[in-house]
Structure 1
């Protein structure tokens, strides 16, 4: 491996580690997200800051276009795909919550649900948009593309991102959320690997979260 190849591998590895770690840390718990409106706002700013750092890394360090993480200009003909996929994913999650979890003697974290329900609508709207954008950029667009490039394996990229995405949500919602986050992670990964257009993922993800929290 020559110097250029070694640098390229190091840049890939550093980006992958940053995204997977930064996207998994329980910022909400550390800063007591629901303590006040200022805490809610600061929590959102942390996530947008991470997204900005990913953009800066892609642009200034990797010197690549945003298309390299799936951010292509969306086609109107693809919009129905995103909408249908979002609806199917939402239906699957509803079935898991109402049938799957009770079958295993599990239930959603009621405290989290209650806390989110008591937050201002404007914050929930901002949070839904942020979650759809940031999680898809980190766990699908960047992570899948770079892990596949680093490992030369689409399967490895899919498995690693799904596992980390699921565990990141378990850290905030508890182990009862593993089926919900796992299903969502698999669904959004399938969509991204199929179309390789991150905007479709953001739209589908937004639909799911909007139905749940708005």
Structure 2
């Protein structure tokens, strides 16, 4: 359980900085459009994760990505994304396997 918790925390912090906070802001700066920044960031995130998740995981991963990109675009706050991501990951990784 401590290792799983460490993985969740590490993924939450690094993914939100590397896939939402930094790229959306920089691409928005370069293009003048937050939607371009959000779209490019989301598509690249999904493309990088596709080999690990495959087609079966692509749909839930796409929904998850849309939610997190939406939270960032709405709030422009990477900590809000980290909290959202953390709640989702805790449910998926730590809670659901024990319930199902």
Aligned to 2:78: 198
Aligned 1:13-162 pairs, distance under 5 A: 121-162=1-42
Aligned to 1:183: 63
Query: Which runs of no fewer than 5 residues in structure 1 stay unpaired?
Result: 1-120
In the TM superposition, residue 185 of structure 1 has moved relative to its aligned partner by 0.9
Query: Which runs of no fewer than 5 residues in structure 2 stay unpaired?
Result: 95-100
Residues 180-204 of structure 1, C-alpha deviation per residue, up to 9 Å, x if partnerless?
1111111111111111111111011
Contact 1:140 1:161 in 2 (8 A): yes
Larger fraction in helix: 2
CA distance, structure 2, for counterparts of residue 154 and residue 199 of structure 1: 18
In the TM superposition, residue 125 of structure 1 has moved relative to its aligned partner by 0.4
The count of residues paired between Structure 1 and Structure 2 equals 94
Q: Which has the larger radius of gyration?
A: 1
TM-score normalised by structure 2 residue count: 0.88
CA distance, structure 1, for counterparts of residue 13 and residue 29 of structure 2: 22
In the TM superposition, residue 141 of structure 1 has moved relative to its aligned partner by 0.3
